[in-house]
Amino acid sequence: MAIPHAHPGEVVDVRPLGPALVNAITTALIKTEALEVIRLVVPKGKEISAHSTPGAITLQCIEGRIAFTSGGTQRELDAGQLLYLEGGRPHSVLGIEDASLLLTITFPRHPARG
């Protein structure tokens, strides 16, 4: 059963999960043609292998700590830190500690055909 996405104007709670983090799963919160917002859960030691998205992303660490690698450079994100990456750039994520993050993907617009 799919978890419903938030509706326009609906309040979405993105506070730290605290003790519930150990049992949490990644969840898409909002999805439209132009935007997707995901609570990404990355357990300690889990790696999300290199991939890319067509649109730009922001990744905000809500709790825990991760290593983010792109273009041969690794950066650590702690709670309260955010990074931006242009679309099409390969990147990977590694959980240094159990972590939850707010991932936002903006999808490029395609001009109307006429």
Residue-by-residue pLDDT tens, the chain, 114 positions: 456 788 888 899 999 999 999 999 999 999 999 999 999 999 999 999 999 999 999 999 999 999 999 999 999 999 999 999 999 999 999 999 999 999 999 998 765 555
> Rounded to two decimals, what is the model's pTM?
0.89
The tokens describing 90, both together, are: 């390969």
The pLDDT score that the predictor gives to residue 19 is 97
The pLDDT score that the predictor gives to residue 112 is 55
The pLDDT score that the predictor gives to residue 93 is 98
Other Cβ atoms less than 10 A from the Cβ of 39: the count is 19
Whether 114 and 30 have beta carbons less than 8 Å apart is answered as no
The pLDDT score that the predictor gives to residue 61 is 98
Does residue 38 sit in helix, strand or coil? strand
Instruction: Write out the DSSP string of 49-108.
Output: EEE--SS-EEEEEEESEEEEEETTEEEEEETT-EEEE-TT--EEEEESSSEEEEEEEEPP
- The domains located in the chain, with CATH, are 37-106 (2.60.120.10)
Q: Residue 45: left if φ>0, alpha if ψ -120 to 50, beta else—which one? A: left
Nearest 5°: the CA angle 38, 50, 94 is 65
The pLDDT score that the predictor gives to residue 113 is 54
